[in-house]
Chains A and B, each alone.
Chain A
């Protein structure tokens, strides 16, 4: 088929389309749904009794604030990655708060290792195991994000999938920190950040399947 004839055919086929809303607005819609789900996940165990004290601690606020910001920026990134022409550096923005989060928790682990030694860290590591709760709380927000991302152009399915999972898992981790009483940094590193990393990796793999590249009609 000649390209000029193709253009004629496409122009004839120019039915009105529903324009994709800007990623910031779509992120807002997603947060409206994801935050209540995360709040419900935290409410299942009940808020931790020392929450007021925790909120007065700079480290707790910094870590949970960084987790929340990672979630919001990753959600924006996941949706923006389905809009052609979004600069790649803007999609990498969640790495900034994620690094702050990781650095703060990592530094906490270092201090715990100095005071408790390897044996002490191992004792703390297995109580409690937060992985199933972070995963369970992330499922619905991830599913909604995937449904929203599929409306866009699936040019970078792995990237979109990873960001979608990072968004949901970071919010879930921040939410569950309001109910989980174990303050050990090693627990946060392995069972919170570790689960977030695991889900992000799985999101990248699953994204290739569920967020397939846009095909020519």
Chain B
């Protein structure tokens, strides 16, 4: 357990390292992130209910910290700045999780779909699906990858691909239609 003085010294050290990182000091930045990692894990752990993917949120926090590191003012305390980033990223993840939760169903509740083992083996279909996706035209393939596989929102996928949200919707729709046709053809 750190004493109040140790905590003050620690926060002052982090502020100093962050200021150095803003000036391009990679070593100071590496030291800072390494020291922050257990702190961020603890902060995320307190706010994020699912231990199995909390490391994803921790990584998201570190990536955000990196992208907004220019907003830190070395004359201001470091911890409130860090805490705000953690709180924002966890809230964001909770919102995303809530949205996905509405569309997903826990597989444990479904005992078995078919009698044969092969039918329940995800990997059996994977190569065929991968090949089908790969055979799609470039625009459709990109749209499916971003919107369906990477689960980006239309706005995010639009920013990543340069396609308009409308064009993305059309491309995804056509891609799914093509995939259905390709997979049905392969089955027969």
Chain A residues near B (Cβ < 8 Å): 1, 3-4, 6-8, 10-20, 22, 82-86, 151-153, 155, 213-217
Q: Binding site of A, secondary structure by majority: helix, strand, loop or mixed? A: loop
Q: Binding site of B, secondary structure by majority: helix, strand, loop or mixed? A: helix
Which residue in A12, A19, A22, A85 is a CB contact (below 8 Å) of B84? A85
CB distance from B36 to the nearest CB of A (A): 9
Let me know if B64 and A16 touch, CB within 8 A. Answer: no
Q: How many A-B contacts at CB < 8 Å in the complex?
A: 96
Indicate with 1 or 0, residue by residue over B29-69, a CB within 8 angstroms of chain A CB atoms: 11001100100000000000000000100111011101111
Known A-B contacts A3-B55, A7-B34; the reply to A14 vs B67 at CB < 8 A is: no
CB distance from A149 to the nearest CB of B (A): 11
Complex CA distance for A11 and B23, rounded to whole angstroms: 12
Let me know if A84 and B63 touch, CB within 8 A. Answer: no
Let me know if A84 and B84 touch, CB within 8 A. Answer: yes
Which residues of the other chain, B, contact A4 by a CB distance below 8 angstroms? 34, 37
Top 10 A-B pairs, shortest CB-CB distance: A11-B30, A16-B24, A85-B80, A216-B63, A84-B84, A17-B70, A85-B81, A153-B68, A14-B29, A85-B84
Which residue in B30, B69, B80, B85 is a CB contact (below 8 Å) of A17? B69
Which residues of the other chain, A, contact B58 by a CB distance below 8 angstroms? 3
Closest B residue, CB atoms, query A9: B66
Most buried by B among A4, A13, A215: A215
Known A-B contacts A214-B67, A215-B67; the reply to A10 vs B29 at CB < 8 A is: yes
- Interface positions, chain B 55-98, Cβ under 8 Å from A, are 55, 58-60, 62-64, 66-77, 80-85, 88, 92
Let me know if B71 and A217 touch, CB within 8 A. Answer: no
